[in-house]
Structure 1
């Protein structure tokens, strides 16, 4: 029985690898199509690993993603970039205030928060092209 499960898992991984290669051969997907393809690939992997709870969640996500609209998705992603940009500005202002006050511990904390906000902004910008 365990041999059979091993073979099934190997077949699932081979299928996943084949899908990844096929996806790379074609023009890169964008927007909702990329979102659906990504979830489908994760679902195949979760099923091949026997991750039933994760697979159920991914099936729900896939159902929602199939109702996706490219214009709405783009607007959501642009809003995330605007929100992240505002957060970076706020964190930068907080850092400048801490620098004026001169407390090293608070400055370090504010720098860390600014770096996190900048990372979130970078991630949000990367999503615009997907």
Structure 2
């Protein structure tokens, strides 16, 4: 891909992450999620190339699709990244309120979001509770 993703690529990645979260919350196992969100139609359970799907760079180069283990690993990372992004959005909203008004409840909420975010960043943290 080389360099920063384009706006369209970022939108597709965000959609893929959202889809991964929805599937995980629906109780779908990580390998099935990985297969559904794979770029290569030969392993994609829908038989189509998922935009910005797992293994997109290799698919574009005509390389072998990701292994089941790699699909599972990628499907595990997406929900964690999506949740971290959501926490970041929440943080900035309550941070502004905490700074602007000095509201102690907003300060407390901001601290709790920071704690949750740091939990996601701990070694092994992003995958805690997401393994099959």
Which structure ranks higher in relative contact order (CA pairs < 8 Å, sequence separation ≥ 6)? 1
Greater helix share, structure number: 1
Q: Based on CA coordinates, which of the two structures has the bigger radius of gyration?
A: 1
TM norm. shorter chain > 0.5: no
Q: TM-score range by the shorter chain?
A: 0.3 to 0.5
Task: Report the TM-score, using the length of structure 1 for normalisation.
Answer: 0.37
